[in-house]
């Protein structure tokens, strides 16, 4: 059975939406071109780190099996903090340390991976998932080799933050006809 990028893209967005609706309680939608233009303008004006060119957290989780690769969520530090606060039911003024924010982003990657996996299981086959890892820095990007397929979804969270979900994958010749 052939797996196309549209199918993976839809499953990734649906998985992320489910996690944000049930566990994080923040609205999430695929970004429009206007969102991205507005974000760039806003950042160039106030020098903030709302978008993905400043310091970011990258939460990623690898998988092997009938398809292998890596699923990632990349977002600004302020976005990651808001996600962690919402997950834990905290107020925006409550403080969180970097380890707590990092742990929360790892769990988001883990849960989106779980939701994605359940949606593609029938088409793709079995996936064995690793434990999530989170890194912080500038211009972060995951890679699983030059021959990997890549699907990226830019999202807007709570009409306030930009984030990016990415899926890098390689199927070799498994189950494809």
Partner 1 sequence: MAKSIMIVDDSATMRKIIMKTVRAAELDIGETSEAGNGAEALEKLKASAVDIMLCDINMPEMTGPELVKKVRCLPSCAKTKIIMVSTETAQGIVDDVLKSGANGYITKPFTPEKFKEKLAPLLN
Of 2 and 99, the one with the shorter C-beta distance to partner 1 is 99
d(CA 90, CA 92): 7
With residues binned 3-state (H G I as helix, E B as strand, rest as coil), the percentages for the chain, rounded to 5, are 40, 30, 30
Size of the site for partner 1 (CB under 8 A): 25
Stretch in the footprint of partner 1 (CB under 8 A) among 16-24, 72-80, 141-149, 164-172 = 16-24
| Nearest-approach distance from CB 89 to partner 1, in angstroms | 6
DSSP helix/strand/coil, 136: strand
Q: Is 88 in the site for partner 1 (CB under 8 A)?
A: yes
Binding segment toward partner 1, per CB under 8 A, in 2-10, 27-35, 100-108, 145-153: 100-108
Contact pattern for partner 1 over residues 68 through 87, marking x by CB under 8 A = ----------------x--x
Give dist(CA 158, CA 28) in Å, integer. Answer: 6
Q: Is 69 exposed, middle or buried (0-12, 13-18, 19+ CB in 10 A)?
A: buried
CB of 136 vs partner 1, minimal distance in Å: 16
- Extract the tokens encoding 165: 């979900």
64 binds partner 1 (CB under 8 A): no
**For residue 68, what are the contacts with CB-CB under 8 A and spacing of at least 6?**
62, 144, 169, 170, 171
Residues within window 114-153 making contact with partner 1, judged by CB under 8 A: 114-115, 117-118, 121, 126, 129-131
Structure tokens at 6: 């549209």
Interface positions with partner 1 (CB under 8 A): 18-19, 22-23, 84, 87-89, 100, 103-104, 106-107, 110-111, 113-115, 117-118, 121, 126, 129-131
């Amino acid at each position: 059975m052939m797996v196309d990028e549209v199918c993976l893209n839809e499953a990734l967005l649906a998985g992320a939406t489910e996690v944000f609706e049930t566990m994080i309680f923040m609205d999430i939608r695929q970004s429009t071109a206007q969102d991205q233009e507005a974000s760039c303008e806003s950042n160039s004006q106030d020098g903030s780190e709302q978008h993905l060119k400043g310091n970011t957290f990258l939460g990623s989780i690898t998988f092997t099996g009938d398809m292998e690769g890596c699923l990632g969520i990349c977002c600004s530090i302020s976005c990651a903090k808001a996600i962690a606060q919402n997950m834990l039911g905290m107020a925006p003024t409550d403080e969180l340390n970097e380890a707590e924010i990092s742990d929360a982003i790892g769990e988001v990657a883990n849960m989106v991976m779980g939701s994605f996996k359940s949606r593609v299981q029938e088409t793709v086959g079995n996936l064995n998932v690793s434990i999530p890892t989170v890194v912080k820095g500038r211009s972060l990007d995951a890679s699983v080799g030059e021959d990997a397929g890549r699907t990226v979804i830019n999202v807007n969270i709570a009409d306030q933050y930009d984030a990016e979900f990415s899926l890098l994958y390689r199927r070799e010749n498994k189950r494809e006809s």
